[in-house]
Structure 1
């Protein structure tokens, strides 16, 4: 009975996901209409939304070619797509405020698009084959001299000791960084600054029985080893929380109640078996919700089995990874780069989360770089070959 399927952030997903949906829909629709077997998605309308300047599918240990080939624009489905281009920025408006402000916003949006498209003037460092180092305008550079976390925090969270409980203050700002390790370090630092008692919640880990045919797997890995695993998309074994801390959901729990992957909340109560929080983003802002422990499984190919981890699907979000920030809108964005970005679209995603150019700051460790004030901007231009200009 479905008339329309909407798939947002389409460029992030592997093309095989769309091809699997295509085959499934053809089989389902052919039950009543044999001709549907020859129609893409069984004749149903599917709306794919997204921006190919943003992060592409993640391929573990994949090369540049592997990542580009995994894009939906390389699928057989793509030739059946009608492409519509949106040209109005919804975050940084060019139609509000004084004329000078409109002009500044227009220039900022053009700079972002040039960054995402790889058309900004770039330099090559050392023996690099491709020029990837771009200059960040001085007006967007934060901090002076040596890059210190204390400086970043004081500029991005001014007056934190007085405003740590202010919902609006926490909602409108975040520090973005490429690596999970860096985000965890910043969140640990901020947690220490937050007054109050800390609660530690430990996960229950086990090996999924469907992932191995050998019973020895269940006894050959000690519990301590399973607890030590840090895997993509899973919360840590030890989750340390405080009342007043902002957190981000890692799973869809109840979309109808606003509990979706990427929703941000503030912790309001820490119980023995439940965590209570107040939603600060999305359509259900202000609602108090209870977050249960749930069982999550890993999809990481670095291990030879599937790990089942029962834990709260939460992560502190004073800082978050650039990939996790995709879809967020923030008034104040600090892009913390002790090391440059490492994948297509990351720098563009980080810079485009802000709602105004005044709210963007880059923190770059350029002491060992050939070009001060520059950072790496990785763009796989070949992914745009099947797209309109």
Structure 2
């Protein structure tokens, strides 16, 4: 009962719960022994909820299908379990006042009331920041304000926007530089400066520059049971040489004080580097601005969306 209660409140990623391999293929299966406690839990489950299953890679869903067939000892879809229902939903884009406005070429027209007026394109980022974070300096010490505002953007724009907000945000900066190494590079082909310039997908940058009360986001499942999982938002509350004191600002553990330390991080395979990089760094990113992918599942009352077609969109309401 305690295990089911914990899963219901906190949730788990599909890869974590079903032991899906990180680098799988079309023939992969989940790492769940048939006689294990997890297999028994799956057999006894009355309901399995897989949020956004259609966004998962096909081979991962098929791996779960094969594994459940093995666990349930039959060849029916997902083991014939009545508790596992794969539901594909068609999303309808509703803009403005719950109406979809389409042009002749089936493009969506964004109402003017949702756009930020800016006379000079060179000041567009600043206009967006001032609209999403009004009176930022006056609210810099308010954790509720910090955690209830965000800008969504692509990977390329997130770092640029966060850097602008670092310069605007009041207070003294702390700098945390990573320790990078290329594995099996006995000839020292890859210099330290080159490794520092890389930011592989899923890894924190070489240089982190947080400030007191600055929002950050965890990039790894450090301690899911206590709220530290990939995507958890926090607010910085103190700094030491290799440690950040932080307070969780999202999820069921909101308000909980935690310590974040440097850990050894490596990117997943498929980054197309001719070597394997290893980075010792705090497993976080600054999160005044974040990607849409990282914002999934979070509730953020005030959100601005950066559109890289030279338009800016401001949404007022909760993001779920």
TM range (shorter): 0.7 to 0.9
Partner of 1:189: 164
Shift of 1:52: 5.3
Could you list the per-position Cα deviations for residues 71-121 of structure 1 after superposition, in whole angstroms to 9, with x for gaps in the alignment? Answer: xxxxxxxxxxxxxxxxxxxxxxxxxxxxxxxxxxx985743xx4xxxxx41
Report if the CA contact (8 A) 1:326-1:353 is conserved. no
Paired with 1:185 and 1:49, the residues of 2 have a C-alpha distance of 37
1:267 aligns with 2:236: yes
Paired with 1:261 and 1:351, the residues of 2 have a C-alpha distance of 26
Total equivalences in the alignment? 271
2:139 to 160, 163, 169: 163
Shift of 1:352: 8.0
Equivalent residue of 1:233, what SS?
coil
Paired with 2:136 and 2:196, the residues of 1 have a C-alpha distance of 33
Report if the CA contact (8 A) 1:177-1:183 is conserved. yes
1:294 aligns with 2:281: no
Paired with 2:283 and 2:87, the residues of 1 have a C-alpha distance of 26
Partner of 1:322: 292
Structure 1 11/272 Cα, relative in aligned 2: closer, same or farther at 3 Å? same
1:250 to 204, 215, 219: 219
Spell out the pairing of 1:49-128 with structure 2 (5 A cutoff): 53=91, 108=96, 110-111=98-99, 114=100, 120-122=101-103
Equivalent residue of 1:135, what SS?
coil
Report if the CA contact (8 A) 2:200-2:271 is conserved. no
TM-score, normalisation: structure 1? 0.62
1:222 aligns with 2:196: no
Report if the CA contact (8 A) 2:177-2:281 is conserved. yes
1:277 to 239, 246, 259: 246
Partner of 2:22: none
Structure 1 196/144 Cα, relative in aligned 2: closer, same or farther at 3 Å? closer
Bigger CA drift: 37-46 or 266-275?
A: 37-46
Could you list the per-position Cα deviations for residues 173-226 of structure 1 after superposition, in whole angstroms to 9, with x for gaps in the alignment? Answer: 111122x23221111111112222211112222345xxxxxx557743223222
Paired with 1:191 and 1:146, the residues of 2 have a C-alpha distance of 22
1:354 to 312, 317, 320: 317
1:141 to 108, 115, 128: 115
Report if the CA contact (8 A) 2:96-2:111 is conserved. no
Structure 2: where are the runs of 5+ without partners? 1-39
Partner of 1:75: none
Shift of 1:171: 1.7
Equivalent residue of 1:199, what SS?
coil
Paired with 2:95 and 2:190, the residues of 1 have a C-alpha distance of 56
Structure 1 351/140 Cα, relative in aligned 2: closer, same or farther at 3 Å? closer
Partner of 1:40: 77
Structure 1: where are the runs of 5+ without partners? 55-105, 115-119, 124-130, 209-214, 342-346, 357-389
Equivalent residue of 2:152, what SS?
strand
Spell out the pairing of 1:347-386 with structure 2 (5 A cutoff): 354-355=317-318
Report if the CA contact (8 A) 2:203-2:265 is conserved. yes
Report if the CA contact (8 A) 1:278-1:287 is conserved. yes
Paired with 1:244 and 1:50, the residues of 2 have a C-alpha distance of 40
Partner of 1:335: 305
Partner of 2:128: 152
Bigger CA drift: 282-291 or 227-236?
A: 227-236
Paired with 1:24 and 1:217, the residues of 2 have a C-alpha distance of 42
